[in-house]
Structure 1
Amino acid sequence: MFVALERLLNLHDGYRRVFRVAQRDVLLLVAEGRSFLLENRCPHQGAALHGATLSGRTLRCGRHGVEFDLDSGRALNAVCPGLLRLELAYDGDHVGVDL
Structure 2
Amino acid sequence: MAKYKVCKTSDLAEGQGNKYEVNGQDIAVYHVDGKFWATADFCPHRGGSLGYGRLDGKTVICPSHGWQFDITTGECLNNVSGEVNTFEVSVEGDEVYVELP
TM-score normalised to structure 2 length: 0.78
Cα deviation, residue 79, structure 1 = 3.5
Query: Structure 1's 15 and 78: CA in aligned 2 closer, same or farther, altered over 3 A?
Result: same
Asked whether the 8 Å contact 2:3–2:98 carries over to 1, the reply is: yes
Identical pairs, percent: 28
Number of the residue aligned with 2:30: 29
The more displaced of 55-64 and 72-81 is 72-81
The more displaced of 71-80 and 34-43 is 71-80
In the alignment, structure 1 residue 57 sits paired with structure 2 residue 82 = no
Equivalent residue pairs, number: 99
Query: Structure 1's 52 and 9: CA in aligned 2 closer, same or farther, altered over 3 A?
Result: closer
Gap regions ≥5 residues in structure 2: none
Cα deviation, residue 47, structure 1 = 1.5
Query: CA–CA distance in 2 between the matches of 1:20 and 1:10?
Result: 15
Asked whether the 8 Å contact 2:67–2:76 carries over to 1, the reply is: yes
Q: What RMSD over aligned residues (CA atoms) do the two structures have, in Å?
A: 2.1
Gap regions ≥5 residues in structure 1: none
Query: CA–CA distance in 1 between the matches of 2:67 and 2:22?
Result: 25
Structure possessing the higher radius of gyration over alpha carbons: 1
